[in-house]
Chains A and B, each alone.
Chain A
Amino acid sequence: MKRTLTSAAVAAALAALSGTAAAQISDGVVKIGVMNDMSGLYADIAGPGSVTAARMAVEDFQKTSKAGLKVEVVGADHQNKPDVGSNIARQWYDVDKVDAIFDVPTSSVALAVSQITRDKGKAFLVSGAATSDLSGKACSPNTIHWTYDTWMLANGTGNAIVKTGGDTWFFLTADYAFGHALERDTEAAVLKGGGKVVGKVRHPFPGTDFSSFLLQAQASKAKIIGLANAGGDTINSIKQAAEFGITKGGQNLAGLLVFITDVHGLGLQTAQGLIFTETFYWDLNDDTRAWSRRFAAANGGKYPSMVQAGVYSSVLHYLKAIEAGKTDDGTKVINQMKAMPTDDPLFGKGSIRPDGRKVHPAYLVEVKKPSESKGPYDYYKIRATIPADQAFRPMDQGDCPLVKK
């Protein structure tokens, strides 16, 4: 370790002395580690698809780049366990010479990896994890939070639904810290937009039977039933709401953490009328359509989730920053990434804030009725577009120590 440090220092000194612009790439290879849940709950949202997305980003980068970088992509399964994830991260950085880690769904794992990345001075680009702490209290000069976060979901869904007519709300909340936080943030957005919360009920986590809670929600006559829960709880509550005919009765469900893969799994018959926020949909424009078809062909016919799109976009920008900055030193690359505006076919033009938050527009989508859909994955109607500067939490409200007030 010491020897590599010294030789790196010597190399750096030599390069500086001779004034050449030779790229300083550690071990001559940029090694990208995609770490996520390959077999469990989030395997469809991220999983092997994220590795495919990273490989596509490398391909596309090599087509246009003249830097001749050698790039390698490796993947691993953190099984949603922070200690497994933290073990992989340390081993990747210490032994396997990985330069940057991407994706990492599951907030507890992402927070752990973020800390390790900071200690080792590498780069961490989060696409899969939701917690807005990553660009708030736990922000780091080595971490960029790319695709979405809980504040954006709560605010986007809460605010935009109120603006498009859904002004009375009833919350169905998972009874633990994450559910409470989602409910609190969404409620704040609803009230700010001029809406009203007519009631809320907390269900045990994880829950299987939501019937009594759903009946209360139905009886409240609220226009929107907000599902402040995640994963299996959301799926089960949507399924049971369909059985009670809640959507047919004129009420809409608003999911706070829903992905296109969930809609695909539920089917339009069950999921129709569900409203939620995403930052990427494959059917936005010609670029996203072309890319998504290519992705689906490489991913067994499955269309990309926003997390997988985020991995593509973050890998692409990371490599561009290495080309521009001529180094793969973690902290320097992150600074370079923040300094450069982002531009890619999926998220369009965007930027990265000093607190490590990547900003781009978000979309409030409503799931189509089966009769409106023209085929597989034709699922969303875009109800509203939230511009990039309003989609994410303002920097001064995040309590990020990197940002001076």
Chain B
Amino acid sequence: MAAVIQAVGTTAGGAETRALRLAFLAMVAIIAIAPLAVYPIFLMKVMCFALFACAFNLLIGFGGLLSFGHAMFFGMGGYVAAYSAKEWGVTPELAVLLATACTAVLAWVAGLLAIRRQGIYFAMITLALAQMVFFFCLQAPFTGGEDGIQSVPRGKLFGVVDLADNRAMYVFVAAIFLGGFLLIWRIVHSPFGQVLKAIRENEPRAISLGYDTDRYKLVAFILSGTLSGLAGGTKSLVFQLASLTDVHWSMSGEVVLMTLVGGLGTLFGPVVGAAVIVTMQNYLAQLGAWVTVVQGAIFVVCVLAFRRGIVGELGALFKGRKLR
């Protein structure tokens, strides 16, 4: 209970809530202004990955469960959205919803199996399941194997707004990202989120307090997987393609990297982390072989020098100043 009270105490603190709100407003402002200066498709990519990282962070940062198979949700969401938009000609919002629904079912099945174990075993089970999904996507005829699903139409939102226009697409993606982000914010600060944090801190104690921890973990897993699927589905519409890259295990690793660099267990950390990693991949692409070297070096520096991630360290800095 102490953990629960402490968790409630810190998150409900007036100053912190105010700081979070300010940060959120700043983020909305950045999203609104950025396309004037930065290439919009790049920003949409950042938002998709940011939502993916936030969903992943919901599980590891607040539930303490390190999944090493989140690419299966991200990739599967992408395939479902791309396939339904291209082959069935459904409108984009339906394609994204279908993707979300399918990944919810996938997450439910995967979650039932995975949450029975903790720590490294949990990570290994999720990795194994993700590999199974990868092989399914490699073999199934509808995914197009190596070539992926190409030239997916973006379609018309609600049958009216043409998303082929980058500005309309940008608003659509921004709405999905902000919606997903607010949902995660709400979940984290709900009684459910508090129990989740209690489980993260001390699972036996949460059990002894009468919480059915397996159910909490399963729901957290499903929520995280579903939101990852939402991110994947949106990304496939932005780029008009779905491919094996997004279900490959290295994608599961990339999202861990994003979350770690940004700050584990902070609301804004994954957003910042996703922005940093995607920017690196994008703007260092000219450097060729050095991309992976630079990425590795940043990871090492991050783990050695600021283990709480960019946002985590900033938060600690502010807190420290106030105490003094």
Contact = CB atoms under 8 A, between A and B. Distances in A.
Interface string A100-144: 000000011001100100000000000000010100001000000
Interface in B203-254: 235, 239-241, 243-246
Interface stretch (B105-113, B144-152, B260-268, B309-317): B144-152
Contact of A75 (B45, B281, B286): B286
A43 B235 CA distance: 27
B35 to A, nearest CB: 12
B138 interface: yes
A107 B139 CA distance: 17
Interface in B125-152: 138-139, 141, 144-148, 150-151
B145 A82 contact: no
B45 A74 contact: no
A33 B281 CA distance: 18
A75 B246 CA distance: 24
Nearest to A83: B239
Contact of A108 (B138, B139, B141, B148): B148
B150 A84 contact: no
B291 A77 contact: yes
Contact of A39 (B145, B148, B241, B288): B288
A76 interface: yes
Interface string B34-72: 000001011001000000000000000000000000000
B308 to A, nearest CB: 29
A91 to B, nearest CB: 5
B147 A107 contact: yes
Nearest to A95: B39
A177 B144 contact: yes
A184 to B, nearest CB: 13
B289 interface: yes
Given A82-B239, A82-B243, A87-B239, A108 B150 contact: yes
A244 interface: no
Nearest to B44: A87
B202 interface: no
B17 interface: no
A38 B289 contact: yes
Contacts of B150: 108, 111-112, 115, 138
A47 interface: yes
Given A47-B288, A95-B39, A115 B240 contact: yes
Nearest to A78: B285
A402 interface: no
Contacts of B243: 81-83, 108
A181 to B, nearest CB: 9
B147 A131 contact: yes
A182 B241 CA distance: 24
Contacts of B291: 39, 77, 79
Interface in A197-222: 205
A173 to B, nearest CB: 13
8 contacts: A39-B288, A39-B291, A76-B286, A87-B282, A94-B39, A108-B146, A108-B243, A111-B147
6 closest residue pairs by CB, A with B: A177-B145, A38-B288, A39-B289, A115-B151, A82-B243, A81-B245
